[in-house]
Amino acid sequence: MEKNRIRFTRKLALTLALFGAMNVYADDDTIKVGVLHSLSGTMAISETTLKDTVLMMIDEQNKAGGLLGKKLEPVVVDPASNWPLFAEKARELIEKEKVDVVFGCWTSVSRKSVLPVFEELNSLLFYPVQYEGEESSKNVFYTGAAPNQQAIPAVDYLMADLDIERWVLAGTDYVYPRTTNKILEAYLKDKGVKATDIMVSYTPFGHSDWQSIVSDIKKFGAAGKKTAVVSTINGDANVPFYKELAAQGVKAEDIPVVAFSVGEEELSGMDTSALVGHLAAWNYFMSVETDANAAFVEKWHKFIKDDKRVTNDPMEATYLGFKMWTKAVEKAGTTDSEAVQESIIGVTVPNLSGGYATMMPNHHITKPVLIGEIQDDGQFVSVWETTDVIAGDAWSDFLSGSKDLFASWLKPMSCGSFNVQTGKCSGESK
């Protein structure tokens, strides 16, 4: 009996040891990729597609042999459009799930929520959506547009090509619209626009009753000067906003709307027949005619198993971020955060518009700027675009507290907000 017990104990110990070794091997053989996007709540209309984009990129990478000889494993969480929950889910991904990188967030308030977590734990976040700038963190890579890559060029287009003189700055009430509009107000006034010719309006997430606001816009636009709406309205509030514009007969030829957060995905759920002629400013449209984009759209349709699904700008920004991360990991020979932070600066990958995207020292990338006009099929036709790519500015030239700041994570500076007047770094991010 005693011999049997000893034999059993030895076998059990050997089994546990082998099991442990298998687990270590499995862990060492896998690179975990965190996906931090809202799959429910008001932002699900926009963010679910980005989750699917990351999964598509992981699938493609695995079919090509993985990364550093290892398989990529997605770890998906749902912060449910709940901004404090983003921070909890980010910590869960990094500390519990041990992910090597995270692709995620849409709104700036969600990014601001997770930023302290990524900096504390020295992990990496690739953020794929246009934002207000005024930030540069060594732990975040901003692959969406900064204001000088979207908002400022859009205003320049409206002034020069459409002779706009009065401005409605309409946004959702959170940090991105408020900061972007603060920059735009300063820029417009610098261009000679009077304060009385600028109307600013904010509404909460998920706002649905637009009747009085659209009525105010019509009234503001009836003063005898050509008027436009610059929209930083986010999420599903865009659907009733555009419906109310149509209901009150606000046509593009009378008061054009240029949107910074409405792309093909948002339009796919709307009747766009009454929206023809309204505009959006992005760095990519599905309608871009290049071989690279045709291949991307085909790959998307095959992966999602739906030929009617559209692509959009944040998807391209996700695609670029993923390509840059894999290239930086291969260059560094490791997924270690510090090594990737150093190796990714200067990494260049083809974009989908026929040019190239480069990761700059301030952790922003180079991008073209396109102005597109809504068509009745829910697509955009480009009516204007830059002749070359533009490097994203972390700090605005038009805000008094920012114009003296610049960011560079190249050593030995390694500073997200270096003040050229004082010669001092005010912190890793701000």
Question: What percent of the chain is modeled with pLDDT above 70?
Answer: 93
pLDDT value of position 61: 98
Tokens coding 351: 């974009």
- Give the number of other CB atoms < 10 A from CB of residue 411: 8
Q: Residues 365-378: pLDDT tens digits?
A: 999 999 999 998 99
pLDDT reading at 430 higher than 60? no
Q: Mean of the pLDDT values across residues 136-155?
A: 97
pLDDT per position as a tens digit, 163-189: 999 999 999 999 999 999 999 999 999
Q: Which fold has domain 148-282?
A: Rossmann fold (3.40.50)
Peptide bond just before 240 cis, omega within 30 deg: no
How many residues can be counted in the chain?
430
> 162, 129, 185: which is closest to 367 by C-alpha?
129
Residue 172 near residue 205, CB atoms below 8 Å = yes
Q: pLDDT value at position 19?
A: 39
Pairing of strands 257-259, 279-282: parallel
* Cβ within 8 Å of residue 413, ≥6 positions away: 425
The reported pTM is 0.88
Quick: pLDDT tens for 193-238. 999 999 999 999 999 999 999 999 999 999 999 999 999 998 889 8
| Separation CA 228–CA 214 (nearest Å) | 12
pLDDT score, position 427: 58
Secondary structure in 3-state letters for the chain: CHHHHHHHHHHHHHHHHHHHHHHHHHHHCEEEEEEECCCCCCCHHHHHHHHHHHHHHHHHHHHCCCECCEEEEEEEECCCCCHHHHHHHHHHHHHHCCCCEEEECCCHHHHHHHHHHHHHHCCCEEECCCCCCCCCCCCEEECCCCHHHCHHHHHHHHHHHHCCCEEEEEEECCHHHHHHHHHHHHHHHHCCCCHHHEEEEEECCCCCCCHHHHHHHHHHCCCCCCEEEEEECCHHHHHHHHHHHHHCCCCCCCCCEEECCCCHHHHCCCCHHHHCCCEEEECCCCCCCCHHHHHHHHHHHHHHCCCCCCCCHHHHHHHHHHHHHHHHHHHHCCCCHHHHHHHCCCCEEECCCCCEEEECCCCEEEECCEEEEECCCCCEEEEEECCCCEECCCCCCCCCCCCCEEEECCCCCCEEEEECCCCEECCCCC
Q: Say what the pLDDT of residue 29 is.
A: 87
Residue 272 pLDDT class (50, 70, 90 cuts)? confident
For the chain, give every domain's residue range.
148-282
Query: Would you say 278 and 257 are in contact if contact means Cβ atoms under 8 Å apart?
Result: yes
Query: What is the C-alpha separation between 170 and 417, in angstroms, rounded?
Result: 29
Given this model, what pLDDT does residue 6 score?
44
Give, in order, the Cα–Cα distances in Å from 366 to each of 155, 157, 286, 351: 20, 20, 19, 10
| Model confidence pLDDT, tens digit, residues 17-76 | 443 433 333 447 899 999 999 999 989 988 999 999 999 999 999 999 999 999 999 999
Q: Give the span between the Cα atoms of 409 and 364, in whole angstroms.
A: 11
More confident call, 11 vs 412: 412
Residue 429 has pLDDT above 70, yes or no: no
pLDDT attached to residue 270: 81
**What single-letter amino acid sits at 23?**
N
Strand order in the sheet with 166-172: 198-203, 166-172, 227-232, 257-259, 279-282, 370-374, 380-385
pLDDT in tens, 337-393: 999 999 999 999 999 999 999 999 999 999 999 999 999 899 999 999 999 999 999
Average pLDDT, the chain: 92
> What number is the average pLDDT over the span 240-249?
93
At residue 3, does pLDDT exceed 50? Answer: no
